[in-house]
Chains A and B, each alone.
Chain A
Amino acid sequence: MPTYLSKSFLEFPHGALTAHRFDFRIEQHDFVMLFSEVIVNDPDYHAYRSEEVGFKIPPACYDVKFDRLENFNSGNFYAPPPAELRSRKRRFADELAEALETIITLHHNAYRARAYFAIAETEKLKRFYDRFLQHPPRDVIYEVNTAPGEGGRGYVLKTRYFNPEKNDSCRA
């Protein structure tokens, strides 16, 4: 079962916006999850990001990332754990999926995010996301798409706040 090391989202300035951090643990692995709001008041950047996801990104949409805490602290981002610490157990992946779902739900409740964007940089992570997103939490996420501009490795998770008039239909 995941352990949620954070009880609150840590908020910190990130450029002109604020980013959010939440820490968790699975087995002996500590992780950090980060949410950064997509900049929409920079026309060139906004156009570039909107083109990637296939729609005009509104405010309150977040890039979401996670990594092992050790990597975050060392700056050696996304490095795999040492071979002796790698878990190939299905249960580990299930617990990781449970943690991501829980933290995204908590974030959605706290910040009323309209959408989340994630990218799978490896085939292994893509397989994990594809499996995890077959059954997203329907009271939070009403639509999951791949982002056309990310080579099929980008994901768009629209929440019930993205398009309020669809809320009722997505809860059916």
Chain B
Amino acid sequence: MYSKHDISTLKKMTVAERKAEAMRQLKESFDLAERSGTVRSREAKEAKAG
């Protein structure tokens, strides 16, 4: 859960700061998942025409 403080902090960030922070969190999650073996995959398929 985000606290009111977290949201207040987000609102004060510039667009670039927010994007970089979001990317940092995503990398942290991905690295943790790689280390813990919790990365899964789902096939990427084109939709069939018609």
Contact = CB atoms under 8 A, between A and B. Distances in A.
Interface of A: 6-15, 19-22, 34, 36, 39, 42, 44-45, 48, 63, 65, 67, 72, 75, 77-78, 103, 105-107, 109-111, 119-122, 139, 150-151, 153
Contact of B42 (A9, A14, A34, A151): A9
Contacts, number: 104
Q: State the 3 A-B residue pairs at the shortest beta-carbon distance, nearest first.
A: A12-B33, A8-B41, A45-B2
Given A10-B39, A15-B29, A109-B46, 8 more contacts: A8-B43, A9-B42, A19-B29, A22-B44, A75-B24, A78-B23, A110-B45, A151-B15
Nearest to A4: B44
A34 B44 contact: no
Interface of B: 1-4, 6-7, 10-11, 14-16, 18-20, 22-27, 29-30, 32-34, 38-47
B15 A121 contact: yes
Main secondary structure, interface of B, reads helix
7 contacts: A13-B33, A63-B22, A65-B22, A65-B23, A78-B20, A109-B47, A119-B19
Contacts of B47: 105, 109, 139
Nearest to A43: B1
B19 A9 contact: no
A57 B34 CA distance: 30
A139 B2 CA distance: 35
Contacts of A45: 1-2, 6-7
Given A106-B44, A119-B15, A11 B39 contact: yes
